[in-house]
Structure 1
Amino acid sequence: MAQKLNTALLQANLKWEDPQANRSFFSKEIKALSEDIDLIILPEMFTTGFSMNASKLAEKTDGLTLQWMREMAKLKDAAVTGSVIITENDKFYNRLFFVFPDGSFKTYDKRHTFTLAKEDQTYSAGRDRLIVEFKGWKICPLICYDLRFPVFARNTVEYDLLIYVANWPSKRVAAWDALLKARAIENMSYCIGVNRTGNDGDGYKYNGHTAAYDCLGENITELDREEPFAEEIALDKKHLEETRSDLKFLQDRDQFTLK
């Protein structure tokens, strides 16, 4: 079991509805990462930006982007995760892929579609939460608007790391900062949020604030950075386990089930 999970957070100014350009950008960023990286986290809809033009942009599950993610995972011997516009059974999904170094993968379809942007009118909502086991870590990857719904992220399975990939606009970034920290504290887990920067084709501005918090809500990255960057951080399983042993807050959680 790995005591350290070396994690890369990639914040980018996504090119609007240009998958090839975005894959090319991330290829360069990923190739420049350390050789000992374990997990690479990309933003929500990292090939297109947060577009409702699904009929033009959607890929099938085994499309070019998943092939590319597999190539990157193999190249760095690391897991790669981020969300992509996918079509399946005549429906569209905002689908997160968690791709393992051997090319196998798991998926999560965004549960809470963003009604303010009419995402619910284009994309079908997912239902089930995903828990990934990787190198002795339990990981719960979620997508953007899911951050506003704490019950869905509630730590009933002793996961170690909560991830949010996002296109979260700058006008509400104060909520992003506060909620990421809150999710870490209330779930006694690491919590990482990877956002984008720049402007999208619908006129929305994004200012990043990609960050990682430990289980006590301490920021372990440089908060409030608004330019594209790739940052590598080491998550410490021993610190997590010792803190949970000393502060048994998860044992006192309310007993109920989300249906």
Structure 2
Amino acid sequence: MRDLTQLENLQLAIVQAPMVWQDVSANLDNFAQLLNQVEQADLVLLPEMFNTGFSMESERLAESMDGITVTWLKAQAMRLQAVVCGSLIVKVAEGDFRNRLIWARPDGSLETYDKRHLFRMAGEQNHYTAGTHQLVVELKGWRIRPLICYDLRFPVWSRDSQDTDLLFYIASWPQARRNAWNRLLPARAIENICYVAGVNRIGEDNNGYAHSGDSQVLDYLGDPLLQANAQLGVFQVELKAANLAKFKQRFPAYLDADHFHLEP
């Protein structure tokens, strides 16, 4: 195992807000104002499809990787001198649209993760192509894996086989299923022995679905370090590498984990 005691602590900021339905300019303006509240963060997380709301109008709303929203993410990352993440609808090729998470660094470089599990109950699989690969990124020596919303329900895809320190989910998770959200996030932290963040939206979407937020950050025991409840705003917390290292040394259950191979 890596020596986590040598890592700096990670400053995490999560943004919980409503969205203006399918209005990219309004949403980017609103989130830019909220990001003014961020103080000395290393990583800033925005909800799923933060620029449009969770929409199935992929063909009409899709942007390119050179479009307004990716350009905005790069600019915010540079301004904050932090990695900024959120997902949007991206056109990869003709008829190929992705619910794509962007990992935007301050230097302008990017990593991407395409949502693996498409939400069947909303017909997401009819409008988007599922991703096939996990993404693991390093930040200040921390190993971090980003996932999107419905991915939370699938423990095999979420399972740590890569020595993960932080697992996070950005989401548009309805209030009607908030019990699942609030129970599965701690489960993922406990089974993976890592920090977990879940970032959700608030407010009602154009389909009449209410979202209660419940954005939160949990430690490796599944205990809350931060709970946003239904509040609008930016919420920040410090993740301590030494605490994670001590627990993994004292309780190395990861050494007994099952080995498996994920098919694309």
Which bin holds the TM-score, normalised by the shorter protein?
over 0.9
Percent of matched pairs sharing the same residue:
43
1:255, distance to aligned residue in structure 2 (A): 2.0
| Partner residue in 2 for 1:179 | 184
Match of 2:219 among 214, 218, 237: 214
Change (3 A) 1:38 1:158: same
Q: CA deviation at 1:77?
A: 0.5
Q: Distance in 1 between matches of 2:240 and 2:114?
A: 28
Q: What whole-Å deviation, never above 9, does each CA across 1:179-208 have from its counterpart, x for those lacking one? A: 000000000000000000101011111000
Instruction: Give yes or no for the alignment of 1:82 onto 2:81.
Output: no
- Structure 1 residue 37 displacement after superposition: 1.0
Query: In the TM superposition, what whole-angstrom CA distance separates every residue of 1:46-76 from its partner, at most 9, and x where no partner exists?
Result: 0011000112111011111111111100001
Count, aligned residues: 257
Question: What's 2:143 paired with?
Answer: 138
Match for 2:128 among 101, 104, 123? Answer: 123
Deviation (angstroms), 1:2: 4.2
Question: What displacement does 1:43 show?
Answer: 0.2
Listed as ranges, the gaps of 5+ residues in structure 2 are 1-5
In 1, distance between residues paired with 2:137 and 2:166? 10
Cα offsets for 1:207-256 (capped at 9, x unmatched): 00000110011100126x11212101001111111110110011111122
Matched, 1:150 2:150: no
Superposition TM-score, scaled by structure 2 size: 0.95
1:169 is matched with: 174
Equivalent residue in structure 2 for 1:55, among 24, 45, 59? 59
Say if 2:78 and 2:106, in contact at 8 Å, map to a contact too: yes
| CA RMSD across the alignment | 0.9
- Counterpart in the other structure of 2:14: 9
Instruction: Map Cα deviations across residues 144-182 of structure 1 (whole Å, 9 max, x no partner).
Output: 000000000111110100010000000000000000000
Does residue 256 (structure 1) correspond to residue 249 (structure 2)? The answer is no
TM-score using structure 1 length: 0.97
In the alignment, what sits opposite 2:76?
72
Q: In structure 1, what is the Cα distance between the partners aligned to 2:218 and 2:212?
A: 18
Counterpart amino acid of 2:81?
A: D
What amino acid does structure 1 have at the position aligned with 2:18? Answer: N
> Structure 2: which amino acid aligns with 1:149?
F
SS in 2 for 1:21: helix
Deviation track 1:83-104 (CA, whole Å, cap 9, x = no partner) reads 0011111111100000111110
Aligned to 2:103: 98
2:207 is the alignment partner of 1:194 = no
Matches within 5 A, 1:204-243: 204-222=209-227, 225-243=229-247
Query: 1:115-156 deviations in whole A, cap 9, x for unaligned?
Result: 000000000000000001111110000000000000001111
Asked if the contact 2:23/2:51 (under 8 Å) is kept, the reply is yes
The residue that corresponds to 2:3 in the other structure is none
Q: Note if contact 2:37-2:234 (Cα within 8 Å) is conserved in structure 1.
A: no
Cα distance in 2 between the residues matched to 1:30 and 1:187 = 30
Q: Structure 1 regions of 5+ residues with no counterpart?
A: none
Q: Which runs of 4+ in 1 moved over 4 A?
A: none
